[in-house]
Structure 1
Amino acid sequence: MQLEAVITVAAPAPVGPYSQAVKAGGVLYCSGQIALDPQTGAMVGAGDVEAETRQVLSNLKAVLEAGGSSPSQVLRTTVFLADLGDFALVNGIYAEVFGQGVSPARACVEVAALPKGARVEIDCIALAAEA
Structure 2
Amino acid sequence: MFTRIIDPAAAPNTGAYSPALKVGDFVFVSGQGPIDPHGNIVAGSIESEVALTLDNVRRLLAAAGARMDQVVKCTCYLADIADFDAFDGVYRSYFGDVMPTRTTVAAGLAGIKIEIDAMAYVGK
The TM-score, its normalising length taken from structure 1, stands at 0.88
> 1:96 and 1:86 mapped to 2: Cα distance?
16
Residue 129 of structure 1, CA deviation:
5.8
Residue 81 of structure 1 pairs with residue 75 of structure 2? no
> 2:39 and 2:97 mapped to 1: Cα distance?
33
For residue 37 of structure 1, what is the aligned residue in structure 2?
A: 36
Task: Report the count of equivalent residues.
Answer: 124
Name stretches of at least 5 consecutive residues in structure 2 with no aligned partner: none
Residue 50 of structure 1, CA deviation:
1.4
- 1:79-124 CA distances to partner (integer Å, 9 max, x unpaired)? 10000000000000000002x221100000001224xx11100110
For residue 4 of structure 2, what is the aligned residue in structure 1?
A: 4
State the percentage of identical aligned residues: 37
Q: Secondary structure at 2:93's aligned position in 1?
A: helix
Q: Secondary structure at 1:90's aligned position in 2?
A: helix
> 1:50 and 1:66 mapped to 2: Cα distance?
24
For residue 61 of structure 1, what is the aligned residue in structure 2?
A: 58
User: Deviation above 3 Å: which 4+ runs of structure 1?
Assistant: none
Residue 9 of structure 1, CA deviation:
2.1
Residue 59 of structure 1, CA deviation:
0.5
For residue 102 of structure 2, what is the aligned residue in structure 1?
A: 106
> Are the counterparts in 2 of residues 8 and 66 from structure 1 also a CA contact under 8 Å?
no
For residue 92 of structure 1, what is the aligned residue in structure 2?
A: 89
> 1:96 and 1:124 mapped to 2: Cα distance?
16
Q: Secondary structure at 1:9's aligned position in 2?
A: helix
> 1:26 and 1:42 mapped to 2: Cα distance?
32
Name stretches of at least 5 consecutive residues in structure 1 with no aligned partner: none
> 1:41 and 1:48 mapped to 2: Cα distance?
19
